[in-house]
Structure 1
Amino acid sequence: MTKPVAVVFAYHNVGVRGLRTLLARGVDVALVVSHQDNPAENIWFESVAALCSEKGIRCITPDDPATEALHQTVAACNPDFIFSFYYRHMLPVTLLTLAKRGAYNLHGSLLPKYRGRVPVNWAVLHGETETGATLHEMAAKPDAGAIIAQTAVPILPDDTAFEVFGKLTVAAEQTLWNALPGLIAGTAPRLQNNLAEGSYFGGRKPEDGRVDWSQSAQNVYNLHRAVAPPYPGAFFDQNGHRFVIGKARLTDQEVRNLPIGLQVIDNTIFGVCGDGRAICISELLLDGKPVSAEQLTKLF
């Protein structure tokens, strides 16, 4: 039997696991389109380019996926499938039509919820208790095509976005692994992706990580979890210094008689919030270095 041919747009851990899954299922990956790593970004994830080098797969990193040159390069591969695994650009419809048997994307949410950018971070920020990975057809709108398969994962109360992303990487692999036989055989289901029942979110800006201590402790804690390292971290300015929360936990300790913001109580650092509750900060960073409760007392 002739192997199905795929062109894959991929980046990040999901890109690596998606590629490995295609290869394990016997798909011929003729070309991978990826991104150049940004030196200003914390590259904590696996490299698609390194995997392609290991497997002898051609990998290119054009700045724009909408050029005629890339269109011709993909067309020359005569792909049965086009896949997108955490590739950061929308693919033009003219490119998608080159895939004779369909173009599919792995998205890090249970569509139609959390369409758009950084869905894991948004889900944690909003206090969701469940998310997942969805394999869906690509369309002109982002994350709007028919759903092929989904796998759910829990978001535990203290999970950070980094921890949830680890679960989603496995869920994405499982989703793709289970769906591929049906895609290859032409028998995969296509379920309605009802956008009216979902939500769309854009990318997050650095300023979105700023802590507002007047909010509830749960909301502040959710922000911390959503952007905790290796993401840039929730930050705030106090007494002329900029602090970043490295590690924290929600606490039931009553702090109603203290001003909101950073406080040291019994040699422990707390962030006092607007509802009279606090988060206990076990790692506070100043200029990238941990600050102890004793050091903080001297600063203030």
Structure 2
Amino acid sequence: MTTTNAKAVVFAYHNVGVRSIQTLLAKGIDIALVVTHEDNPAETIWFESVAALCAEHGIPSITPADPKSEDLYAQVAAIAPDFIFSFYYRHMLPVNLLTLAKRGAYNLHGSLLPKYRGRVPVNWAVLHGETETGATLHEMAAKPDAGAIIAQVAVPILPDDTAYEVFGKLTVAAEQTLWQALPGLLSGQVHPLPNQLEQGSYFGGRKPEDGRIDWSASAQQVYNLHRAVAPPYPGAFFDQNGHRFVIGKARLTDREVGNLAIGLHVLDNMIFGVCGDGRAVKILELLSGPRAVTAQELRDMLA
């Protein structure tokens, strides 16, 4: 492993945080402090732990509730870092904190900026049927994901990719983006590109209720919603005949479904969701509570 004289404070969470910290270590950067989050007990934790990685490498880590706290500012000021990095940390960092980085403060964002600024960009991109997304390293500014662009790496979104699958690609893209950008950051030879916000888009966070299926939408729209929130995310759901159902796995199909009403149906011992445009989504795994429902069980539930 190479060594540098660069010292960093890192704000990180999730798989992108883990891989990015490992990338900094591989480039010989001295990570003086990592700021991360306490895991939310109400959230399905399917991703790697930044705190565990720090413990393995003997890196000090803390989990303050508020990155705007005076105590955190004082702690970072005492370190006098060359760089501040944010890798999937879930809070905006205050400008006065960013100014403590002598050689710049940079964030890795999960989209091809200026598209999909804001929260959960992978889920939004899949929901909107995008065929490409990526990772962007950019300067941090007062507005979210608004600073100049340092580097980007694109990844494809295939027609049947779920957000979870795209996030796996994005984690690799984030690592590649950082790896390619670090030599320039360390040497001071970077050529930032303008982040043209007027050509992009901004989206807020998503709530579980946003996963409710409207069967009057087109089959492609329903399928995109499923892909955007498929497990390990909470899943696209709907209520029918007094039961709540969640789609675990599905595929878009060209199967003819006649003049069936929108919603769930069992045809030839297979489960379909009929949509507003007359097309259907074939449901390969339908969940009711914690267990999968068979076609025969569903027929009885809908009777």
Matches within 5 A, 1:89-128: 89-128=91-130
Partner of 2:218: 216
State whether residues 4 and 28 of structure 2, in contact with CA within 8 Å, keep that contact through their aligned partners in structure 1.
no
Partner of 2:255: 253
Q: Percent of counterpart pairs with the same letter?
A: 79
Q: In structure 1, how many angstroms separate the alpha carbons of the residues matched to 2:4 and 2:24?
A: 15
Q: In structure 2, how many angstroms separate the alpha carbons of the residues matched to 1:188 and 1:161?
A: 32
Amino acid at match of 1:91: L
Q: In structure 2, how many angstroms separate the alpha carbons of the residues matched to 1:275 and 1:259?
A: 11
Cα RMSD over matched residues? Answer: 0.7
Matches within 5 A, 1:91-170: 91-170=93-172
Secondary structure, counterpart of 1:79 in structure 2: coil
Q: In structure 1, how many angstroms separate the alpha carbons of the residues matched to 2:174 and 2:26?
A: 15
Amino acid at match of 1:173: E
Partner of 1:240: 242
- Structure 1 stretches of 4+ with a deviation exceeding 2 A read none
> Which runs of 5 or more residues in structure 2 are unaligned?
none
2:26 matches 1:18 = no
Amino acid at match of 1:54: E
State whether residues 247 and 286 of structure 2, in contact with CA within 8 Å, keep that contact through their aligned partners in structure 1.
yes
Q: Which string of whole-angstrom CA distances, capped at 9 and with x for unpartnered residues, describes residues 21-59 of structure 1?
A: 000001000000000001110000000000000000000
Secondary structure, counterpart of 2:215 in structure 1: coil
Displacement after TM superposition at 1:2 (Å): 4.9
State whether residues 256 and 277 of structure 1, in contact with CA within 8 Å, keep that contact through their aligned partners in structure 2.
no
> Of residues 58, 63, 66 in structure 1, which corresponds to 2:65?
63
Partner of 2:191: 189
> TM-score w.r.t. structure 2 length?
0.98
Q: In structure 2, how many angstroms separate the alpha carbons of the residues matched to 1:299 and 1:168?
A: 40
Amino acid at match of 1:121: N
> What is the aligned length?
300
State whether residues 4 and 30 of structure 2, in contact with CA within 8 Å, keep that contact through their aligned partners in structure 1.
no
Partner of 1:276: 278
State whether residues 124 and 161 of structure 1, in contact with CA within 8 Å, keep that contact through their aligned partners in structure 2.
yes
Q: Which string of whole-angstrom CA distances, capped at 9 and with x for unpartnered residues, describes residues 188-243 of structure 1?
A: 11000000000000000111100000000000000000000000000000000000
> Which runs of 5 or more residues in structure 1 are unaligned?
none
Displacement after TM superposition at 1:256 (Å): 3.5
State whether residues 112 and 135 of structure 2, in contact with CA within 8 Å, keep that contact through their aligned partners in structure 1.
yes
Displacement after TM superposition at 1:105 (Å): 0.2
State whether residues 4 and 29 of structure 2, in contact with CA within 8 Å, keep that contact through their aligned partners in structure 1.
no
State whether residues 161 and 227 of structure 1, in contact with CA within 8 Å, keep that contact through their aligned partners in structure 2.
yes
Q: In structure 2, how many angstroms separate the alpha carbons of the residues matched to 1:65 and 1:238?
A: 44
Displacement after TM superposition at 1:121 (Å): 0.1
Q: In structure 2, how many angstroms separate the alpha carbons of the residues matched to 1:297 and 1:189?
A: 61
Partner of 2:87: 85
Q: Which string of whole-angstrom CA distances, capped at 9 and with x for unpartnered residues, describes residues 112-131 of structure 1?
A: 00000000000000000000
Q: In structure 2, how many angstroms separate the alpha carbons of the residues matched to 1:230 and 1:121?
A: 12
Q: Which string of whole-angstrom CA distances, capped at 9 and with x for unpartnered residues, describes residues 159-185 of structure 1?
A: 000000000000000000000000000
Partner of 1:54: 56
Displacement after TM superposition at 1:288 (Å): 1.6
